[in-house]
């Protein structure tokens, strides 16, 4: 029997729609699989707290990640843009033997393998007892070797170079892995151009890294509040520069916001929870995919860093002299470093150190940044909506591993900090990891320190070593025993 034309047309239309739907669903599933499916990281990372801190994903791969194979071949294609030989190692990243990626670099499949950063990139230390032994790694310690400034510039400079194109990158990728035909097409026509575009989009916000009138930050320093200003609230560039050392995160439970303590070097944040949220958002580069998962991650990190003890001084200590030193400490230092003032802001006029870091941030920036986080639906006490007036009287736990000293890392050793400012070194090399137990800090001169380190000039913007004159007029013998005591903290 002949089907009436209308019904026939109706049926084929339905069939066509069904086919399209199936194709669409398959296409959608395919796209989801190739670009968005998330695979859990391996158990050796997720099941061990130290490994999780060092290599675990905090969710930054999705929006801030770099496709793994691009990350892999960039140093091979652009060795001329690295600070020295040796690939990524030349940035002074902390790299454990046998690991595929440096500490602080997480690898996760979001559609395809991507690499991003976590807290450990800046918050893990390495040191060596002498030049001929293997390094010791301390997760939650300050990374004093990382040349973050050079790393940020490297990524932008690569993307700006005409050699960053699909032909070159695919040729190099083929030398190191066998991608399927489809994956090669995806890399060539989508991933490589999109990655290039994404990197170039950051160029404007990184403009202050290219200013000829600003010195490089140098190893182990980061201009954190300017990063927040230019990336989170997208302010136009101003004339401030305030690179600081990376702080230690160990034993974070010592901070008690109820006692008026504040976080960050200039006391610009209320509490650890807020700082961890803001740091993580900075790494994500976008609102979290899921706020509950994000906050669970934040709480895990907070628990980890709160309960990690400061590392013990690894060289011999003269206990009797340290005991004498404690008396010197109690008389000259405890009023700020072991009292109710510890962890609270000391006015700039009283401490007298460089003001550049304070000038990088202000009340209005805090209000705007808090609004950005609130709009994401995240509740936290947040950044302090008040003018910055000074620096936090630092807790001194594990102070031996926090060299160079002062918020901007302008004084190489504890012994130098006990000299009046005009007698402190005016230039030294930072980022070399061999320890100096005599002056208490890292070795900052000599051929190796110069080869590996970056030169810190105290006369350069953001580098000033003035202030903190406490204890500088003590007799030498008192300084020596005080130094012995500081090793015990």
Interacting residue with ligand HEC among 64, 225, 378, 384 (CB under 6 A): 225
Residue owning tokens 């001084």: 313
Q: How far is CA 293 from the centre of its chain?
A: 21
- Alpha carbon distance 408, 356 (integer Å): 9
- Alpha carbon distance 194, 335 (integer Å): 55
Q: Hey, which residues between 450 and 479 contact ligand HEC (CB under 6 A)?
A: 468, 470-471
Q: Which is nearer to ligand HEC, 416 or 433 (CB)?
A: 416
263 binds ligand HEC (CB under 6 A): yes
Q: How far is the CB of 353 from ligand HEC (least distance, A)?
A: 3
Q: Could you tell me how many residues of this chain bind ligand HEC (CB under 6 A)?
A: 50
* Cβ-contact 38, 293 below 8 angstroms: no
Q: How far is the CB of 305 from ligand HEC (least distance, A)?
A: 6
Q: How far is the CB of 364 from ligand HEC (least distance, A)?
A: 18
- Alpha carbon distance 475, 406 (integer Å): 22
Q: Which stretch binds ligand HEC (CB under 6 A): 5-13, 36-44, 47-55, 270-278?
A: 270-278
Interacting residue with ligand HEC among 301, 384, 440, 458 (CB under 6 A): 301
Interacting residue with ligand HEC among 116, 122, 378, 401 (CB under 6 A): 122
333 binds ligand HEC (CB under 6 A): yes
Q: Hey, which residues between 100 and 119 contact ligand HEC (CB under 6 A)?
A: 117-119
- Alpha carbon distance 168, 156 (integer Å): 17
- Alpha carbon distance 179, 123 (integer Å): 34
Q: Which is nearer to ligand HEC, 91 or 164 (CB)?
A: 91
In 3D, which of 151, 164, 141, 158 has the Cα closest to residue 54? 141
**CA-CA distances (angstroms) from residue 227 to 118, 231, 297?**
16, 6, 22
Q: Two tokens at 19? A: 């086919």
224 binds ligand HEC (CB under 6 A): yes
Stretch 66-105: interaction string toward ligand HEC, x if CB under 6 A: ----------------------------------------
Q: Which is nearer to ligand HEC, 453 or 462 (CB)?
A: 462
**CA-CA distances (angstroms) from residue 425 to 106, 358, 412, 465, 472?**
38, 23, 8, 9, 14
* Cβ-contact 310, 468 below 8 angstroms: no
Q: How far is the CB of 217 from ligand HEC (least distance, A)?
A: 10
Residue owning tokens 């070593």: 465
Q: How far is the CB of 26 from ligand HEC (least distance, A)?
A: 38
353 binds ligand HEC (CB under 6 A): yes
Half-sphere CA count of 309, side-chain side, radius 13 A: 4
Residue owning tokens 């200590």: 317
222 binds ligand HEC (CB under 6 A): yes
Q: Which is nearer to ligand HEC, 196 or 262 (CB)?
A: 262
- Alpha carbon distance 362, 489 (integer Å): 33
Q: Which is nearer to ligand HEC, 301 or 452 (CB)?
A: 301
**CA-CA distances (angstroms) from residue 125 to 4, 61, 92?**
80, 23, 11
Stretch 417-456: interaction string toward ligand HEC, x if CB under 6 A: x---------------------------------------
Q: Two tokens at 356? A: 């550049």
Cα Rg for the chain, rounded, in angstroms?
A: 26
Q: Hey, which residues between 398 and 417 contact ligand HEC (CB under 6 A)?
A: 399, 402, 405-407, 414, 417
Q: Taken in order 51, 54, 55, 56, is the CA torsion positive or negative?
A: positive
- Alpha carbon distance 226, 211 (integer Å): 14
231 binds ligand HEC (CB under 6 A): no
313 binds ligand HEC (CB under 6 A): no
Residue owning tokens 């190191």: 176
Residue owning tokens 């790393």: 151
**CA-CA distances (angstroms) from residue 266 to 159, 241, 252, 260, 307?**
35, 14, 17, 13, 24
Q: Which is nearer to ligand HEC, 158 or 392 (CB)?
A: 392
- Alpha carbon distance 10, 96 (integer Å): 66
393 binds ligand HEC (CB under 6 A): yes
Interacting residue with ligand HEC among 111, 220, 272, 421 (CB under 6 A): 272
Q: Which stretch binds ligand HEC (CB under 6 A): 13-21, 181-189, 351-359, 441-449?
A: 351-359
Q: Which stretch binds ligand HEC (CB under 6 A): 4-12, 16-24, 120-128, 165-173?
A: 120-128
359 binds ligand HEC (CB under 6 A): no
148 binds ligand HEC (CB under 6 A): yes
Residue owning tokens 């003890």: 309
Q: Is 373 left (phi over 0), alpha (psi -120 to 50) or beta?
A: alpha
Q: Which is nearer to ligand HEC, 73 or 406 (CB)?
A: 406
Q: Two tokens at 223? A: 């201009």
337 binds ligand HEC (CB under 6 A): yes
Q: Which residues bind ligand HEC (CB under 6 A)?
A: 58, 117-119, 121-123, 148, 222, 224-225, 244, 246-247, 249, 252, 263-265, 272, 275-276, 279-280, 283, 301, 332-333, 335-337, 346, 350-351, 353, 357, 391, 393-394, 396, 399, 402, 405-407, 414, 417, 468, 470-471
């Amino acid at each position: 029997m002949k089907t009436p034309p209308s019904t026939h047309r109706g049926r084929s239309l339905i069939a066509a729609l069904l086919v399209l739907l199936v194709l669409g669903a398959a296409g959608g599933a395919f796209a989801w699989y190739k670009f968005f499916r998330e695979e859990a990281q391996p158990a050796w990372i997720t099941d061990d707290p130290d490994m999780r801190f060092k290599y675990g994903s905090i969710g930054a791969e999705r929006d801030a990640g770099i496709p793994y194979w691009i990350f892999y071949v960039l140093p091979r294609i652009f060795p001329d843009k690295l600070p020295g030989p040796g690939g990524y190692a030349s940035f002074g990243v902390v790299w454990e033997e046998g690991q595929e990626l440096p500490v602080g670099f997480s690898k996760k499949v979001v559609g395809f393998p991507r690499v991003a950063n976590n807290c450990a990139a800046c918050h893990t230390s390495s040191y060596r007892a002498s030049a001929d032994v293997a390094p010791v790694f301390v997760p939650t310690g300050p990374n004093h070797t990382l040349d973050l400034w050079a790393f940020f510039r490297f990524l932008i400079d690569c993307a700006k170079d005409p050699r960053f194109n699909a032909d070159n990158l695919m040729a190099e990728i083929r030398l190191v892995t066998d991608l399927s035909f489809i994956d090669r097409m995806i890399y060539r026509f989508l991933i490589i151009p999109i990655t290039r575009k994404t990197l170039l989009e950051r160029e404007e916000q990184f403009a202050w890294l290219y200013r000829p009138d600003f010195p490089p930050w140098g190893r182990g320093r980061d201009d954190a509040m300017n990063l927040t200003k230019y990336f989170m609230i997208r302010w136009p560039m101003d004339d401030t520069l305030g690179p600081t050392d990376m702080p230690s995160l160990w034993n974070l439970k010592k901070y008690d916001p109820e006692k008026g303590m504040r976080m960050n070097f200039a006391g610009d944040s209320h509490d650890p929870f807020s700082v961890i949220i803001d740091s993580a958002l900075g790494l994500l580069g976008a609102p979290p995919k899921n706020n509950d998962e994000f906050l669970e991650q934040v709480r895990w990190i907070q628990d980890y860093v709160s309960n990690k003890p400061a590392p013990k001084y690894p060289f011999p200590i003269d206990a009797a002299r340290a005991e004498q030193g404690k008396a010197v400490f109690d008389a000259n230092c405890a009023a700020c470093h072991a009292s109710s003032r510890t962890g609270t802001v000391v006015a700039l006029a009283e401490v007298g150190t460089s003001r550049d870091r304070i000038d990088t941030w202000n009340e209005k920036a805090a209000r705007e940044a808090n609004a950005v986080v609130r709009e994401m639906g995240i509740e936290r006490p947040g950044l302090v909506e008040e003018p910055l007036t000074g620096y936090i009287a630092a807790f001194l736990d594990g102070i031996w591993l926090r060299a160079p000293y002062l918020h901007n890392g302008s004084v190489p050793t504890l012994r130098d900090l006990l000299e009046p400012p005009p007698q402190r070194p005016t230039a030294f090399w930072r980022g070399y990891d061999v320890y100096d137990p005599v002056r208490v800090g890292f070795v900052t001169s000599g051929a190796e320190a110069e080869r590996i380190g970056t030169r810190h000039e105290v006369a350069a913007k953001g580098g000033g070593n003035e202030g903190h004159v406490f204890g500088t007029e003590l007799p030498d013998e008192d300084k020596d025993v005080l130094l012995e005591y500081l090793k015990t903290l």
